[in-house]
Amino acid sequence: MPTHPETRIGHVHLKVSDLPRSIAFYRDVMGFDVTQLYGEQAAFLSAGGYHHHIGLNTWESAGGRPAPQGHPGLYHVAFVYPHRQALAQALKRVMDAGVALQGAADHGVSEAVYFADPDGNGIEIYRDRPEAEWPRNPDGSLAMVNARLDLRKLLAEA
């Protein structure tokens, strides 16, 4: 039986090494609001007043180092923005904070920018194009691409 089509990912909960540093990144760089602190070991952040989109904790990871390359773990978490201008504004905050970008791509169905948080957790910020604009093969299946995304043009919309 297939998963119900309205199923969605509700939140991501990340193990971090330094809670104040991670709160500052997700609050000041990513623009999320702190909704609750759970003692000195966890925090919850959200956009738009939701209870939380991001959980951060140091329960098992205080002072730890990122997992080595080539090991299982989170590849990236993706945050979808409602339109191109919102994506541009998010990208501007990231760049103004001096965060190094790891990539950017036009996938046909979406425009995406990639970087990492202070613990090396991969982050994708993106916006979806309307479904009617998605590239399709003759049989109707998706024809996603990995084309260059013009960051200057995107930032001009910030």
The per-residue pLDDT for range 69-118, each reduced to its tens digit, is: 888 888 999 999 999 999 999 999 999 999 999 999 999 999 999 999 99
Tell me: pLDDT of 4 over 90.
Answer: no
Cα separation, 101 vs 94, whole angstroms: 9
How far lies 120's CA from each of 17, 71, 115, in Å? 10, 13, 9
What confidence category does residue 17 fall into, taking pLDDT thresholds of 50, 70 and 90? very high
Residue tagged 């109707």 (tokens): 140
CATH tag, 11-62: 3.10.180.10
- Pick from 21, 11, 112, 9: nearest CA to 61: 21
CATH superfamily of 75-158: 2,3-Dihydroxybiphenyl 1,2-Dioxygenase, domain 1 (3.10.180.10)
Q: State the chain's mean pLDDT as an integer.
A: 96
Cα separation, 57 vs 15, whole angstroms: 5
Cα separation, 143 vs 80, whole angstroms: 20
Domain with CATH 3.10.180.10 in the chain: 11-62, 75-158
Tell me: pLDDT of 7 over 90.
Answer: no
Q: What is the DSSP letter of 150?
A: -
What confidence category does residue 9 fall into, taking pLDDT thresholds of 50, 70 and 90? confident
How far lies 78's CA from each of 9, 11, 114, 156, 158, in Å? 10, 11, 9, 22, 20
Cα separation, 103 vs 157, whole angstroms: 19
